[in-house]
Amino acid sequence: MYLKGLSPEITAEQRETEVNILHISDLHFGTRHWEGNDETLLKKLNSYSPDLVVNTGDNTSDSLESEYKDAAQFLNGIDCEQVISIAGNHDKRNMHSHEYFKKYISHSERILPLNPERTDKKYLYLQRDITRLDDHFTDLNYIELINIGSTTVLIICLDSTVLYEDEGYVEKEILKSFSQKIKQLKYDKSLLLIHHSILTMDKEPLRSSFYVTDFVRKHQVKDVFCGHTHRLDLQKSSDLYLKNSFTQYMVGTLSSSNRMGNDNQFLYLENWGTAEMQIHVIKIFLNDGVMTFTEELI
C-alpha cells in the first residue's frame, strides 16, 4: 500500500522511454539540391540529438549514382544510430535506381511479394532477357525493428514509387507480405514511412491510397510519415465506423529550394506518441547565401 499523495515508485522498465524523432524529406542531391551549406544544416539537425531520424524519400534528383553517393554521405553525417530512409519518385528514374538505393542508402532485407504472378505494379520486375542486371525486382520495401531504451519500434518502409513515374502506386501483394511478417513480430509502437501522401491528393498522387489506409488501420499504425509535395501538412484521420485514427506527418523539402522566402524545413517530434508530445516545425531560410532558422511549436 502507498501513502496518500505519494506515487508508487516506477521502475526503469515500467517508465515509458522518451522517443524523439526528426523527420526529414526530399533532400534532392544533384541538380535540384539547394545552394545552402550542408555542413551548417547537419550541425542544426545534430543539435536535436534525436533517437530516430526518418527520411521520406527523394534523396536524389535523377537517381544517378553520384547523387546517391552524396545523399549517403550527408545521411552518414547525421549523429544518430537510427537513420531510416525510403525511396521517392526521383530515386526511381532508371534501371539501376534500386541497385544504387540498396548499395548506398539501405542494406536491409527487402520484402518480396508472396505471389509474384499476381502483381500488377508497372515495372515491378524488369525484363531479365533484355537487361544485364543481377536484381530485376525494383521495389524497395523493408521492415526495421529498433529498440530505443525499453521501447521496441516497428518501422514499415513502404515503396510507393513506380519506376520512371511521378505518381505513386502500392502493390497489394506487397502489403500482404508485410502483413504476414508483421504478425510474427512483437513491438510497442509502430510507424509507416511512405513517400506519397495516403490522405491528400496532389497532382502526382498515390493511386492506391485506399489499400494503404486499409493496411494502416488493420495494423493499428498510429503515425504515417511522408514527403513528396514539398509542403507541410499535418492531418489526423479518424474512422468513425472502425473507431480508430492515425496522424499523417507530411514535411516539406529539407534542401531543394533556393527561392527567396521559400522555406526548406524539417520536423522534430519530442516525446513522440505520448500525451506530452510537442511538434517543432523548423524552417530554413536561404537569402543571398545566408542561412537562418526559425522554430515554431505546435
Query: Which positions touch Fe ion (CB under 5 A)?
Result: 26, 58
28 or 172: CB nearest Fe ion: 28
Rounded CA-CA distance 58/45 in Å is 18
Rounded CA-CA distance 91/268 in Å is 24
26 or 139: CB nearest Fe ion: 26
Question: What is the closest distance, in whole angstroms, from the C-beta atom of residue 166 to Fe ion in the complex?
Answer: 9
CB 28 within 8 A of CB 256: yes
User: Which residue minimizes CB distance to Fe ion?
Assistant: 58
30 or 113: CB nearest Fe ion: 30
Question: What is the closest distance, in whole angstroms, from the C-beta atom of residue 32 to Fe ion in the complex?
Answer: 8
Question: What is the closest distance, in whole angstroms, from the C-beta atom of residue 227 to Fe ion in the complex?
Answer: 6
20 or 55: CB nearest Fe ion: 55
Beta bridge partners of 269: 21, 279
Q: Pairing state of beta strands 244-250 and 223-226?
A: parallel
154 or 284: CB nearest Fe ion: 284
Question: What is the closest distance, in whole angstroms, from the C-beta atom of residue 181 to Fe ion in the complex?
Answer: 29
Burial string for 191-207 (b: 16+ CB within 10 Å, else e) reads: bbbbbbbbbbebeebbe
Question: What is the closest distance, in whole angstroms, from the C-beta atom of residue 288 to Fe ion in the complex?
Answer: 24
Q: Of 191, 184, 158, 183, which is closest to residue 82 (Cα–Cα)? A: 191
* Dihedral sign computed on CA atoms, order 149, 150, 151, 157: positive
